[in-house]
Structure 1
Amino acid sequence: MTEPKQRLLSLDFFRGLTVAAMILVNNPGSWGHIYAPLEHAEWNGCTPTDLIFPFFLWIVGVSIAFAMSSSKADLSTHKKTILKAIKRGLILYFLGFFLAIFGKLISDPSTAFQTVRLLGVLQRIGIVFIISSIIFIKASPKTIFKTLIIILAVYWALMTFVPVPGIGYANLEKETNLAAWIDRGILTEAHTWASSKTWDPEGILSTLPAIGTCLFGILVGIWMRRKDVDSATKVSWLFSVGILTIVAGLLWDLQFPINKSLWTSSYVLYAGGLASVALALCYWIIDVQGYKNFTKPFVVYGVNAITVFFLSGLMPRLLNFILITKPDGTKTGALAYLYNTYYAPHFSPINASLIWAISYVLIFYVLLWFMYKKNIIIKV
């Protein structure tokens, strides 16, 4: 007999908060007018926005530990669970691929597949989910911890010691590092990130430490599920681990800079440590102390996280193909029309951009609230 799955309200809250923040920073009214904390670091360094994606992958890891522990305990279900994880991961990959190719198929279908980006946020989530799920099912907690350490060490060694063909020395610059060289060689420039065409922030080699972020979350999830440890000890442990890994990440940053685009090993520790502290705080307030009234808006986001992220990416693509005739007779996309008509004239440029992004989050909240009330949960 398998044990029932546990569920943490604080985890749903944290997931929902993370996804809402992801939608906020991905949909400003104007990319030229954004408050500094809502932008990514130019290269090295870390802004609040740079923490959103690793937080989500870390949460995926915690969720794996909670959702798959009963299957892990039953050897007869391993194959079924792994196949289910592979199926789910592939769906996530192809949802991301669909978003990448959607606009191209409408504007220029003849070249769409020749220039589509092969990797991206949903694609990385899918790949990381498959690999991390298999590791969780087949490995002991001690082996998972060792795997995490090996991943971080190997990635550091590859990026800082292996000479880059055509360059001649190991480096961490945008276009000349080893990860960028691998992306150009395997993905080709036609299938990398459109803004660079020479490297990809969700590229092949940097997916390795991204798996490390998820494994970090898995280890936390395993600890949080323990029934022989009281809540106060769990909180103390989470805070302690969080602070220690933050410090470790900052120390490693001196030699291997914290960098989201490269997903450096120091970044894995730093972001994972902050995620641990954040979950400890949420867990203590929500699940232990019982303060739950404020959680509903973000729980609503959390239970349909992938659905809302996909829809939030699809909506602007659809709106861009709806043309509206302006009073001067020229045509513009519906997205630009709405922003320039109802937001830009009434606020300063940077506040108009922010208010647009907040409106976007609120619009999706209405949809998610309706789904929540009807108990509609779309499991990808």
Structure 2
Amino acid sequence: MSVSTQRFTALDVFRGMTVCFMIIVNTPGNGATTFSPLLHARWHGFTPTDLVFPSFLFAVGNAMSFVMPRYQALTQGQVLGKIFKRTFIIFLLGYLMYWFPFVHWEEQRLVFNPIGTTRIFGVLQRIALAYGIAAVLIYFLNWKRALIISIFGLFLYWALLLLFGEPGAELTLHGNAVLKLDTWLIGSQHLYRGEGVPFDPEGLLSTLPAVANVTAGYAIGYFLQKKGNNFEALAKLLLIGCLLLAISYAWNLVFPINKKLWTSSFVTLTVGLDCILLGMLVYVIELLHKTNWTYFFKVFGRNPLFIYLLSEVGAILLNFFRVGDSSLYKAIYRSLFMLLGGYIGSFLFAITFMLCCWLVGYLLDKRKIYVRV
């Protein structure tokens, strides 16, 4: 196996892991009986689940470091066309996913989902915007300047939250600038309500620091390509990760780690952890050449956006179709998994759902079908 192929293997595995765990944490059989590490932190704080989404953004940037050099043979118009097209399609898919299946049950009859209350921002939308902004910055300014601008953006975001949040409550659920901007821009009817009140954890303003997850992923990908697969490069990667962890914990004292606000300390923490995790994968896959275990995750990594979208649409449909007074989702959990116990049953439901998504990815991979946007 060539060096370049191995690098793509490590990237596919890293990206595949993020998709795999995104599906697991998003589809528990019963949210009330979910193991705490598989739940997001309620507000300030951090759990393993909080690492999943930023890791996907990091992987997006890592993949860009292999793709961007190919753009040198294209005109500026062609490059921007590719970037804007991909950004638009991913954003649109995210928007349509939240509107889907376009109807809902209300007193045993189907009622159309009004477009006026459809959630506008979300996971795919954040991926689209963070990718688009990072790609434009890197293309026009090179990755070093883009990374510097992203770091500046982390401090700018901190300042914006302090300046435009409610005094004394700028980092609370009800008084932050992210909520204020989203409410002013699109209205509370278009916001996520999973917190019990209108608030979107993927709001527009908090996309600013998320761009740094992508540019950092690009920088690390570029670093590995230039330095090669050797212990010196891995040592530096691990040192970068440890340094970022120290910065994040120090920053947490004045700007708390918070996934739902995507605070700057959250960015440095997640990028630091991703550097360490990626370093571990590079060591095992590329230096030790232990690859027998990697295919499972490569299946996810080769069609990441498609499999993630499939998992979300699948969960939506299982909750939409009815079995008596219950959704098909709940009926399957209660009849097959709840008998194993609340927490174990909920976890095994999520694992089973993830494996079903993996099977689709496996069939696509065997047929060499790779869905690209």
Give me the TM-score of the superposition, normalised by structure 1: 0.92
Q: CA deviation at 1:289?
A: 1.8
Q: Provide closer, same or farther for how the CA distance between residues 109 and 5 of structure 1 changes in structure 2, counting only shifts above 3 A.
A: farther
Preserved contact between residue 99 and residue 113 of structure 2 (Cα < 8 Å): no
Partner residue, 2:361? 368
Partner residue, 1:378? 371
CA distance in 1, matches of 2:334, 2:113: 31
CA distance in 1, matches of 2:370, 2:234: 30
Determine helix, strand or coil for the equivalent of 1:63.
helix
Partner residue, 2:46? 46
Partner residue, 2:216? 216
Matched letter for residue 115 of structure 2: F
Partner residue, 2:329? 335
Superposed CA offset, 1:271-291 (max 9, x none): 000000100110111022211
2:127 is equivalent to residue 125 of structure 1: yes
Preserved contact between residue 144 and residue 219 of structure 2 (Cα < 8 Å): no
2:79 is equivalent to residue 64 of structure 1: no
Partner residue, 1:257? 256
Structure 2 residues not aligned, in runs of 5+? none
CA distance in 1, matches of 2:96, 2:299: 25
Equivalent residues in 2 for 1:169-184, closer than 5 Å: 171-184=170-183
Determine helix, strand or coil for the equivalent of 2:323.
strand
Deviates more, 1:86-95 or 1:36-45: 86-95
Preserved contact between residue 143 and residue 215 of structure 2 (Cα < 8 Å): no
Preserved contact between residue 170 and residue 178 of structure 1 (Cα < 8 Å): no
Preserved contact between residue 179 and residue 203 of structure 1 (Cα < 8 Å): yes
Q: CA deviation at 1:111?
A: 5.0
CA distance in 1, matches of 2:179, 2:130: 19
Superposed CA offset, 1:23-56 (max 9, x none): 0000000011100100000100110000000010
Matched letter for residue 269 of structure 2: Y
Q: CA deviation at 1:6?
A: 8.7
Superposed CA offset, 1:170-192 (max 9, x none): 62001111111111111211000
CA distance in 2, matches of 1:320, 1:31: 14
Q: Provide closer, same or farther for how the CA distance between residues 354 and 229 of structure 1 changes in structure 2, counting only shifts above 3 A.
A: closer
Q: Provide closer, same or farther for how the CA distance between residues 270 and 77 of structure 1 changes in structure 2, counting only shifts above 3 A.
A: same
Partner residue, 2:298? 299
Partner residue, 2:15? 15
Determine helix, strand or coil for the equivalent of 1:139.
helix
Q: CA deviation at 1:109?
A: 5.7
Preserved contact between residue 95 and residue 125 of structure 2 (Cα < 8 Å): yes
Matched letter for residue 15 of structure 1: R
Q: Provide closer, same or farther for how the CA distance between residues 111 and 306 of structure 1 changes in structure 2, counting only shifts above 3 A.
A: closer
CA distance in 1, matches of 2:186, 2:111: 20
Structure 1 residues not aligned, in runs of 5+? 326-330
Q: Greater RCO between the two (CA within 8 Å, min separation 6)?
A: 2
CA distance in 2, matches of 1:230, 1:189: 49
Preserved contact between residue 8 and residue 287 of structure 1 (Cα < 8 Å): no
Partner residue, 2:185? 186
Superposed CA offset, 1:331-352 (max 9, x none): 43222211111111x2111111
Partner residue, 1:101? 99
Preserved contact between residue 95 and residue 120 of structure 2 (Cα < 8 Å): yes
CA distance in 2, matches of 1:168, 1:267: 22
- Number of positions where the alignment pairs a residue of Structure 1 with one of Structure 2: 365
CA distance in 2, matches of 1:163, 1:88: 32
Preserved contact between residue 213 and residue 271 of structure 2 (Cα < 8 Å): yes
